[in-house]
Amino acid sequence: MDSNKRSDAEEQSGPGEQRASPARPPFGKKQLPSIPKNAIPITKAASPASSTQSANGTHASYGPFYLEYSLLAEFTLVIKQKLPGIYVQPSYRSALMWFGVIFIRHGLYQDGVFKFTVYIPDNYPDGDCPRVVFDTPVFHPLVDPVSGELDVRRAFTKWRRNHNHIWQVLMYARTIFYKINTMDPLNPEAAVLYEKDIQLYKSKVVDSVKLCNSHLFDQPKIDDPYAISFSPWNPAVHEEAKEKMFAHKRRPDDYNKGLPVSGLSWVKPGSTQPFSKEDNPLQT
Amino acid sequence: MTSMVADGNRDGQSLVLEGVDPETCMIVFKNHWAQVVKILEKHDPLRSNVGGLGGGHGLGGGGGIGSFRFGPIPGDEASAVQNYVEHMLFLLMEEECGQNGAMGPILEFVVMENVLERLFIWSLRREFTDDMKIEQLKMYEMLIGQARQPLLHHKPVLKPLMMLLSSCSGSPSGPSSSTVETELVLLLNQLCCVLAKDPSVLELFFHTSEDQGAANFLIFSLLIPFIHREGLVGQQARDALLLIMALSAENNVVAKHIAENTYFCPVLATGLSGLYSSLPTKLDVPSEEWHCLHREDWQQLPALVQFLNSLEFCNAVIQVAHPSIRNQLVGYIHNGFLVPVLAPALHKLTLEEVMTTTAYLDLFIRSVSEPALLHTFLSFILLHRHDSVHILDTLVSRINTPFQLGTVSLALFRTLIGLYCEDVMLQLIFKYLIPCNHMMLSQRRVLRERDCYSVSAGKFLALTPSCCSPDIIPPPLRKLDSILWSKVTDDFHTGTIESKEVLSEEDDCGNSCVIGSEIYLDVSYLHYLYDAQNGIRHCMRACRVWSAPYDGENPPPEEYQRSTLEEAGRTRQPIASRKTPNQMHCSGPPLKDLTATPRMLELEWDDSYDACPTQLHPEEDQETRPIPEEPPKHIQELRRTAIMIVKGSYIEESEFQNDVMVYDLVAQKDANDSGSNYHVSSRPTEAAEQEVLDGPVTDQKTTNSESSMRNGLSSSVNEMDRQKRGSQSDHKSMSPEGEDLMAQYEELIRTLGAQPGSPAKADSELKSPTDLMNDEEDEIDFNSFSPETPEAETSLSPFGTKPRSGSKGHSVPFTGPFVSVLLSRLENMASNALHVNLLLTGILAQLASYPQPLLRSFLLNTNMVFQPSVRSLYQVLASVKNQIEQWSANNKDFPELLTAAQHCLLVRESSLRDSQSPQTGDWLHGSEAERIKNNQIQPKTVVPLNKTEVYATVLFTEFLKELAAIAQEHSILSHFPTDQ
């Protein structure tokens, strides 16, 4: 089991791998430089995309729109899934980069709060699978101890449009903390410890969780208005927001009532006859 | 003191009596009254000897006193009374309530002495002229408007008031002067305000009326004659009535009284009819482009303004009144205005009249906001049958009429669709889509899928004609409206991904989050996206009140499969009820009509019918060949219009009387234009001959779509065919009444099967339609694994499809006349006038914004595989693209014309924007216009509007963007129905 882990890891990096992930320099405090500071896109979300995608036979100038909307559609799917303990937010500057945070509520990694960034290839959905990089490398067999990158590819060997979605990647990122897999690890130490010395593994995990949580209030690694940042509880700031969040559950009903409904219907549910509702005004 | 009071009174100011002892006021009041009484009694004819000047003679006695009592009242005495009264009224007005709401002493005195009634009698005693009335009315106006304590609770105040009102109402001397009316309505309005604030007075009004011997609500009855009055008086009266209406909502007595004892509702409703009759029957149409009554149009027509005022009042009454009144009014409007007046008006004899009525109807629907009233109008359109044809069907069929009637009808439907009314959409479109017969069986599960990767948007945009491609010729305008999307950073990144990797050590992860590449983004597309988002959100919110999601599961297609079949007979009513037996037997069966028309034509427009003559003939040869029933009238009309347009001549059919004139006119014009029309419509064929293999439109399709009206036509014929077969069977086996067509059909099959003599062939042919359909679908389902696109679908050989569609005969999938007509007019885009195309594309864009998966998938999902007989929006657009490509290839100056037309359109946009209130569908892209305006673009050359192909090409390209934007927004909005 342990023996072939490294070779496999290398095997997995196929031809496309080189391009997508070159040797990973330390994350350090360096910010992703590829974000132009003075970019003033006409819409904040409009992400530029390179590819003169003529896949549809359409004009290249619409390529960015297709990419943008594909990613927005992915995002709406994520919202719809209501993944437990996972929050994501596309960055201000590019829809190809999403900020996320994951809350682990039980198990070995209980109380862990791990921030991460999702990088989506610009030829999405026809490229490789998105990449997930934890801000702080979590101690985990599948997380690169240096770059913090999660081995997503093992779950999505071939990214297939229509079948694979980004919410699945996020789901996967959550699952690894509940079901530990030591096969072909990116962090062999963690894998070995998990197999041989679970106690030490556990204590290392606790340390790692502590480390991550101690950096919780740090400035976001990436300077972006939509980057997820944490701050200590401050009633003046947060109390109101909290109340709103709790109130939100009741909202849909009140919300609907308040809005002027502009549509009309006199169709009785279950019928396809017009004006079949009984409370019709008399037509005598 | 008195002078002070008098002055205060004259100035109409409430002079402060503070500090003046109430007792002093009382004394003054009493003194004044004593003076007044003296004069009053002196002239009281009923008084015998008691009078102040009391001579002892009898009534008939000596001239002196008698002349006092009966003769005219001297002016000085009259004005003395008036002066005293003014002072007294002022004192009364200014008096405060007593303790605990008791009457103040002056009021108490007024009540005890019956002051007001005596004053009223005094005014009667004098000549009760209009001036007297006005004086009295003004007196009460002042009292009621300004008194500090409630007065109307006291009968001695109320009674003379009611007497005054009665005397104003029933003046035998003819109508009162307008001044009296003005004062009367003003007072009534005031009274209603009091009522609204203090409903307890209401009881008293009723009771006082009873005392008068009439159990009526006098205030109300007096107002009724002013309902439809013009100007301020009418407005005040209507306001006052509305106050009472609002009162009725909470007071059953009032509601019951109004509904049962007054003519309020009939007056209101029949008043509409009266006002309608004074509307111009023909409008002076400002231009060819004109298609609906805008504000600036109807404001020029006083009669229309007055009608709309009354309609608005009806709307307001329905909004606030008690349900019983509301229902009654709505009923009267339906039965007293819509059915007897508007329905015949919609079927007038001349094109102009019908067009005018249609424009009125459109305006009325736009003016009405109250759901109950809209309900009336809509149920009239949807359910009412005039000459056994539903109004809706007639209206739909008129979309296909050339000239303004067609355009005005389109505008009406734009209004109807913009109501987000489930019932309307159900009748127009959804009932044809619910059974899902229009798509391959395998497609049902993808019906609700979202287009995650903007595939459909890409396909729509790929239809952009090559002459409009931004890649080939970016017109100057486009350059203006594009932004160059390049990497903005000067320092690090200059290039594509590769260079980034090479160059930048910063690019630590190889994540290409920002890729600079020199692309001109079409900014106008951003605006389309923005508009699409707003449109869809709005529509989704509106549709939350709908009863079903229309997603291919609810309503369940299986349950309604048969209803498509019944469709031909209009599900709602038994078929037989529509036709008199007489008609059924002697009307020229459509079959004969068809066979009478030249064979060529048939081949062109009815493949399903024509393709399987061998299958039809055995039936015809059967000895008991039934007499086919007429198709529904709207289908006939569709067909007729289609025939006219195809042939360029009018085929008269005797059974249509009503519209003969209309269509005759159509025919005349049509005949004049027929050459060019035909030429235009036949062009695609030539195109097809040359470019059979080019483009997404295949030969099969282009030949099918020979003429613009083709689609509607063949659909109607299919439907008719269906109908015909259905009726053949039902006629044979059983009475056509009662059971629905389907049941009759099945009955027939059983009967046939049981009869030993019946040909076996018939049995196998007349399989249950559902079986047929299933077979059909299974077969096609299998095929559909390979061809994924509609193009592939249509590229099946004509020999492959024709027998198939023929064999299923009656179950030919049909997406309804409305969709058919829209698409067939759209297919004719290149020869349509600009404004027609604006309307068409506006309507289709609006339809595409509806979130219901059935409709969304039908219009926007370019990957859906539909039944061969169903034409999709995409197919039609592809056909238009081909026409345009053909045209541009044959016209060398096309690019220049195109650019000039773009300029013209943008200038038109900005001028429209200046002059009009926005109207959906009139805009291409509003914000574009603004920018253009800023840029002060002047059209270099004005492209004449009759260069329809040029304008259509510009519009077509924009429409593709619009549709693509809508498709894209659907893909990301579907999950946030309540999001705002």
Q: Say whether A40 and B461 touch across the interface (CB within 8 A).
A: no
Structure ipTM: 0.76
- Which member of A19, A69, A275 has the closest CB to residue B379? A275
Task: Tell me which of A262, A279, A280 to substitute to probe the interface with B (most B C-beta atoms closer than 10 Å).
Answer: A262
Residue-wise burial string across B554-565, b where 16 or more C-beta atoms lie within 10 A, e elsewhere: ebebeebbbbbb
Q: In Å, how far is B557's CA from the nearest CA of chain A?
A: 11
pLDDT band at B158 (very low <50, low <70, confident <90, very high): confident
pLDDT band at A138 (very low <50, low <70, confident <90, very high): very high
> Would you tell me how many other CB atoms lie within 10 Å of the CB of residue A37?
11
Q: How far is CA B307 from the centre of its chain?
A: 16
Q: Please, what is the average pLDDT of chain B? A: 69
Looking at residue B676, what is its pLDDT? Answer: 40
Least confident piece of the model among B95-104, B241-250, B564-573? B564-573
User: Is residue A232 helix, strand or coil?
Assistant: coil
Q: Identify which has the larger pLDDT, B560 or B914.
A: B560
Q: Minimal Cα distance from A20: which residue of B?
A: B510
Q: Minimal Cα distance from B850: which residue of A?
A: A263
Q: Identify which has the larger pLDDT, B874 or B943.
A: B874
- Which member of A24, A34, A73 has the closest CB to residue B972? A73
Q: Give the separation between CA B165 and CA B208, rounded to whole angstroms.
A: 12
Q: Identify which has the larger pLDDT, A177 or B680.
A: A177
Q: Identify which has the larger pLDDT, A220 or B649.
A: A220
Looking at residue B71, what is its pLDDT? Answer: 67
Q: Is B338 on the interface with A (CB under 8 A)?
A: no
Q: Say whether B560 and A272 touch across the interface (CB within 8 A).
A: yes
Looking at residue B604, what is its pLDDT? Answer: 29
Q: Tokens 């020979």 — which residue?
A: B706
- Long-range CB contact pairs, A268-274, < 8 A, 24+: A268/B547, A269/B547, A269/B548, A270/B547, A270/B555, A271/B547, A272/B426, A272/B430, A272/B431, A272/B434, A272/B555, A272/B560, A272/B563, A273/B571, A273/B572, A274/B379, A274/B382, A274/B383, A274/B422, A274/B423, A274/B424, A274/B426, A274/B427
pLDDT band at B727 (very low <50, low <70, confident <90, very high): very low
Above 60 in pLDDT, residue B819?
A: yes
Above 70 in pLDDT, residue B8?
A: no
Least confident piece of the model among A140-149, B333-342, B492-501? B492-501
Q: Give the separation between CA B820 and CA B412, rounded to whole angstroms.
A: 17
Mean pLDDT (whole number) for B390-406:
90
pLDDT band at B165 (very low <50, low <70, confident <90, very high): confident
Backbone torsions φ then ψ of B243, nearest 5 degrees: -60, -40
Q: Minimal Cα distance from A283: which residue of B?
A: B331
- Tell me if B374 sits within 8 A of B419, measured CB to CB: yes
Q: Identify which has the larger pLDDT, B510 or B44.
A: B44
Per-residue pLDDT reduced to its tens digit, A9-49: 333 333 333 333 333 333 333 223 333 333 333 333 333 33
> Would you tell me how many other CB atoms lie within 10 Å of the CB of residue B355?
25
Residues of B in contact with A283 (CB under 8 A): 330-331, 334, 376, 379
Which DSSP string do the residues of A250-261 spell out, in sequence order?
THHHHHHHHSPP
Q: In Å, how far is A222's CA from the nearest CA of chain B?
A: 12
Q: Identify which has the larger pLDDT, B676 or B334.
A: B334
Q: Minimal Cα distance from A74: which residue of B?
A: B452
Least confident piece of the model among B6-15, B48-57, B571-580, B932-941? B571-580
pLDDT band at B123 (very low <50, low <70, confident <90, very high): confident
Per-residue pLDDT reduced to its tens digit, B856-899: 999 999 988 888 888 999 999 999 999 999 998 998 888 888 88
Residues of B in contact with A275 (CB under 8 A): 375, 378-379, 382-383, 423
Q: Is B285 on the interface with A (CB under 8 A)?
A: no
Q: How many CB pairs under 8 A join A and B?
A: 277
Least confident piece of the model among A56-70, B438-452, B708-722? B708-722
Q: Identify which has the larger pLDDT, B299 or B688.
A: B299
pLDDT band at A161 (very low <50, low <70, confident <90, very high): confident
pLDDT band at B98 (very low <50, low <70, confident <90, very high): confident
Above 70 in pLDDT, residue B216?
A: no
Q: Tokens 């009223």 — which residue?
A: B120
Looking at residue B844, what is its pLDDT? Answer: 97
pLDDT band at B166 (very low <50, low <70, confident <90, very high): confident
Looking at residue B974, what is its pLDDT? Answer: 62
Q: Any idea what DSSP says for residue A114?
A: E
- Which member of A36, A47, A73 has the closest CB to residue B450? A73
Above 60 in pLDDT, residue B188?
A: yes
> Would you tell me how many other CB atoms lie within 10 Å of the CB of residue B427?
27
Chain B 557-576, residues with CB within 8 Å of chain A CB atoms:
560, 563, 571-572
DSSP E strand stretches across chain A: 86-90, 97-103, 113-119, 131-134, 149-150
Q: Identify which has the larger pLDDT, B587 or B80.
A: B80
Per-residue pLDDT reduced to its tens digit, B621-648: 333 334 344 444 544 554 444 444 433 3
Q: What angle do CA B460, B453, A12 make, to 5 degrees?
A: 145
Q: Is B508 on the interface with A (CB under 8 A)?
A: yes
Mean pLDDT (whole number) for B291-315:
92
pLDDT band at B76 (very low <50, low <70, confident <90, very high): confident
Q: Is B420 on the interface with A (CB under 8 A)?
A: yes
Per-residue pLDDT reduced to its tens digit, B458-484: 999 999 998 887 655 444 444 444 444
Q: Say whether B462 and A96 touch across the interface (CB within 8 A).
A: no
Above 80 in pLDDT, residue B137?
A: yes
Above 50 in pLDDT, residue A260?
A: yes
Q: Is B287 on the interface with A (CB under 8 A)?
A: no
Q: In Å, how far is B488's CA from the nearest CA of chain A?
A: 6
Above 80 in pLDDT, residue B45?
A: no
Q: First CA to last CA across chain B, in angstroms?
A: 67
Above 80 in pLDDT, residue B614?
A: no
Element (H or E) spanning B542, and its range? helix B523-542
Q: Identify which has the larger pLDDT, A233 or B797.
A: A233
Give B839's contacts (C-beta < 8 A, 6+ positions apart): B291, B407, B410, B411, B414, B921
CA quadruple A41, A42, A45, A50: dihedral sign: negative
Mean pLDDT (whole number) for B381-386:
94
Chain B 916-975, residues with CB within 8 Å of chain A CB atoms:
964, 968, 971-975
Least confident piece of the model among B142-151, B171-180, B851-860? B171-180
Mean pLDDT (whole number) for B925-940:
50
Q: Tokens 């004259």 — which residue?
A: B10
Q: Tokens 């391009």 — which residue?
A: A19
Least confident piece of the model among B122-131, B467-476, B665-674, B867-876? B665-674
Backbone torsions φ then ψ of B426, nearest 5 degrees: -60, -50
Q: Give the separation between CA B706 and CA B605, rounded to whole angstroms.
A: 8
Q: In Å, how far is B745's CA from the nearest CA of chain A?
A: 22
> Would you tell me how many other CB atoms lie within 10 Å of the CB of residue B217?
21
Least confident piece of the model among B266-275, B280-289, B360-369, B771-780? B771-780
Structure tokens that stand for B249 in this block: 């909502």
Q: Is B656 on the interface with A (CB under 8 A)?
A: no
Of B812, B727, B818, B716, the C-alpha closest to B393 is B818
Of B811, B783, B797, the C-alpha closest to B441 is B783
Q: In Å, how far is A104's CA from the nearest CA of chain B?
A: 26
Q: Tokens 């002047």 — which residue?
A: B938
